[in-house]
Amino acid sequence: MRTLLRTLLFSLFTLMEYVRSGRLLFELVATPSFFYVFLMNRWDQQRADAEHFFTLTSIFTLVITLYTMSSIINLGDRPQCYLILAGRLGRSSYLMGLYLSAFTIITGVYLLVSGATIWLSAPEDLTLRGWVVGSVPLLLNAGLLMAFLLIISPLVFPAGWRLFFLGLVALAFSRNFISGPVEEAFPPMARSVLSGLQTILSWPLVPGFSGFALALSHELSVYALIVMTAQGSLLVALLGLALYAFSQRELIFSGE
């Protein structure tokens, strides 16, 4: 219980530092700008439907996640953070506090966009249940991206391991780029090995892409529950890896 309380208090402290540093200004400008340009029901635009809302909001949420999580990581990667960890706050609470503070900001941004859309644009085919079913996988995808950004940050892994993980992701997506004449240029054995690696490495991406498709359909079903369970399981695995690596490595804060 004390560990949870310390994590929440550190998360609140990080949020206050995020606001004080002025980094929140980006979200405060980007959120209304996005709504006005893409979702607001104006006389020269057709009213947005639910699929249009979830498509654009999913992309916007991921973009905001990239900025917010990177900024939070920079806040946590400063020499003065040694003083915080020297106290009773453990490493796990420290890392989870950073994660929760970023997730709180992302969730707040999404709720603001959703509230403004429902109030001012009111998609006719968007029900409360549909909004909930579409929102959960959308936010889980944001959580997955945040966890991956945490893994490839200087806080958790050294440069060599970060390049290794980025290489795995690039290899998983390489099927879209290495095909046709380019693939035929490889020897048969190399093509077989590459195809096997691409297949294996693409599996962790399935929950994310399935979650995006679920957000667009926003239909509650057994399949939807399976997708959200897969997203949650992958999120727990990524956070577990980040927490374990952070607890084992020597702390070297590199920020200013």
What confidence tens digit (pLDDT) does each residue in 89-132 have? 889 999 999 999 999 999 999 999 999 998 888 787 889 999 99
Q: Which of 213, 230, 227 is nearest to 55 (CA)?
A: 213
pLDDT at residue number 251 = 78
Question: pTM of the prediction?
Answer: 0.92
What percentage of the chain carries pLDDT values higher than 70? 91
191 CB burial (10 A radius; 0-12, 13-18, 19+): middle
List C-alpha distances in Å: 102 to 18, 70, 175: 9, 9, 32
Least confident residue range of 112-116, 197-201, 208-212 = 197-201
pLDDT at residue 18 greater than cutoff 50:
yes
Residue 194 confidence (pLDDT) above 80: no
Whole-number pLDDT of residue 240: 97
What is d(CA 114, CA 166) in angstroms, rounded to the nearest whole number?
A: 33
Greater confidence, 164 or 80?
164
| pLDDT score for 184 | 63
Higher pLDDT, 98 or 49: 98
Closest CA to 211 of 147, 149, 134: 134
More confident residue, 122 or 205: 205
- Amino acid occupying residue 76: G
pLDDT band at 82 (very low <50, low <70, confident <90, very high): confident
- In degrees and rounded to multiples of 5, residue 162 shows phi and psi of -65, -45
**Helix residue ranges per DSSP H, the chain:** 2-20, 24-34, 50-76, 81-86, 91-116, 128-151, 159-173, 181-184, 188-202, 206-217, 222-248
DSSP code of residue 253: -
pLDDT above 60 (res 43): no
- Name the more confident of 86 and 209: 209
Instruction: Indicate if the pLDDT at residue 32 is higher than 80.
Output: yes
